[in-house]
């Protein structure tokens, strides 16, 4: 909402409130005037008929008492209607503003998503294009340089593939995603993901601890691989320049396996610990954010964990960073 639109909205609301107050007092004044006219008419009628002889008899006359009762009832009705209308106006305005804020927030998140997805698509495409142009212009490159360029091109291709897979998975999770359940060794899945992240972030210190003889779980291999890689890669990505990541797998209770992923990054404020699971949500503005991403990773994680009957939460790590606590039911308890 720009400045001009805000002025129009606030001016309209101010006009409505003032108009409501004015009409309330106007109706109140008209009720008072009408009551006084009826009292004056009754006084004249009773005086002419000889029913009023002494001063003070009017206040005790049955017809005057009836007029007072009608006046009191009308006054109460005006006040009650004013209160009801005022409360209704407040509720309508509150709901309208809350809905507007949600729409603005959603629009901002989608804008951030479009900006980030544009960057995430353009970067690897530009890299691959540059490598292909190099091969085209310099056909007699040394074998070592060819190998290095080919490896870089494959890395960028993998990056594009991962991005497309996240987009497709996000769309499927909203509609018709079906788990392909099978008995799985969760430690092997996480170990493989830790190795991938270690290769992608060679400066990161990753510690992987597994409790011996962990029970198998019944899960979707592709889905849980996505959960693991997103959590571990996020920990490395947001803990620069010297990430220290701890991944721990253990049996939490007779019915579940617990996984914790702890990092030494800036952490996540308490107010945002529930927000980060929303699709497209990323902390800050896309114009100033340094880390890459689309805002889909944690959304995908939460959806997949819920589909597996598990739970995931975020806690503060000490002395800094965040700890993601993931629990999944063992095979015979799903």
Burial class (CB in 10 A: 0-12, 13-18, 19+), 234: buried
Count of domains forming the chain: 3
Question: 290-306 burial string, b = 16+ CB within 10 Å, else e?
Answer: eeebbbbbbbbbbbbbe
**Structure confidence by residue, pLDDT tens digits, 104-152:** 777 776 776 677 677 777 888 888 999 898 888 887 888 888 888 888 8
Q: Is the CB of residue 315 less than 8 Å from the CB of residue 327?
A: no
* In a shared domain, residues 123 and 154: yes
- Percent of the chain clearing pLDDT 90 (strictly above): 27
Strand, coil or helix: 54 = coil
* In a shared domain, residues 269 and 189: yes
Which of 59, 88, 109 finishes a domain? 109
Range of the domain at 276: 181-333
Residue 67 pLDDT > 90, yes or no? no
Taking alpha carbons only, the member of 177, 176, 175, 170 closest to residue 279 is 170
* In a shared domain, residues 131 and 238: no
Residues 6+ apart with CB under 8 A from 152: 127, 131
* In a shared domain, residues 90 and 137: no
Residue 83 pLDDT > 60, yes or no? yes
Q: What is the dihedral of CA 130, 136, 142, 144, to 10 degrees?
A: 40
Which of 59, 92, 109 finishes a domain? 109
Question: 10-20 burial string, b = 16+ CB within 10 Å, else e?
Answer: eeeeeeeeeee
Which of 91, 109, 127 finishes a domain? 109
* In a shared domain, residues 87 and 168: no
* In a shared domain, residues 104 and 141: no
Q: Which residues pair with 316 in a beta bridge?
A: 322
* 272-278-281 Cα angle (round to 5): 70
Q: Is the CB of residue 281 less than 8 Å from the CB of residue 256?
A: no
* In a shared domain, residues 134 and 54: no
* In a shared domain, residues 326 and 288: yes
Helix segments in the chain, DSSP class H: 3-49, 62-137, 143-173, 186-200, 221-237, 297-307
pTM beyond 0.85, yes or no:
no
> What CATH number corresponds to the domain at position 211?
3.30.565.10
* In a shared domain, residues 166 and 95: no
**Structure confidence by residue, pLDDT tens digits, 249-307:** 999 888 899 999 999 999 899 989 998 888 777 765 544 445 566 678 898 999 999 99
């Amino acid at each position: 909402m720009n400045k001009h639109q805000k002025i129009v909205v606030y001016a309209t609301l101010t006009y409505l409130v003032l108009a409501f107050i004015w009409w309330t007092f106007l109706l109140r004044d008209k009720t008072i005037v009408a009551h006084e006219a009826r009292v004056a008419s009754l006084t004249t009628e009773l005086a002419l008929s000889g029913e009023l002889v002494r001063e003070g008899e009017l206040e005790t006359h049955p017809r005057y008492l009836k007029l007072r009762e009608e006046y009191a009832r009308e006054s109460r009705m005006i006040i009650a209607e004013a209160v009801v209308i005022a409360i209704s106006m407040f509720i309508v305005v509150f709901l309208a503003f809350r809905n507007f804020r949600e729409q603005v927030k959603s629009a901002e998140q989608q804008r951030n998503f479009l900006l980030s997805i544009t960057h995430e698509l353009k970067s690897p495409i530009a890299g691959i294009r540059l490598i292909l142009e190099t091969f085209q212009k310099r056909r007699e490159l040394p074998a070592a340089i060819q190998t290095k360029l080919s490896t870089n091109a494959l890395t960028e291709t993998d990056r594009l593939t991962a991005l497309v897979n996240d987009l497709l998975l996000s769309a499927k999770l909203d509609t018709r995603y079906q788990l392909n359940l099978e008995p799985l060794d969760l430690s092997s899945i996480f170990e493989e993901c830790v190795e991938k992240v270690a290769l992608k972030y060679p400066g990161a210190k990753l510690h992987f601890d597994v409790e011996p003889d962990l029970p198998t779980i019944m899960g979707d291999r592709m889905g849980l691989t996505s959960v693991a890689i997103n959590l571990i890669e996020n920990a490395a990505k947001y803990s620069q320049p010297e990430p220290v990541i701890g991944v721990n797998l253990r049996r939490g209770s007779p019915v579940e396996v617990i996984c914790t992923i702890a990092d030494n990054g800036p952490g996540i404020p308490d107010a945002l610990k529930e927000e980060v699971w929303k699709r497209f949500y990323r902390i800050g503005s896309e114009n100033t954010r340094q880390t890459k991403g689309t805002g889909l990773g944690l959304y995908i994680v939460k959806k997949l964990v819920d589909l597996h009957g598990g739970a995931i939460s975020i806690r503060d790590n000490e002395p800094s960073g965040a700890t993601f606590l993931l629990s999944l039911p063992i095979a015979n308890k799903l």
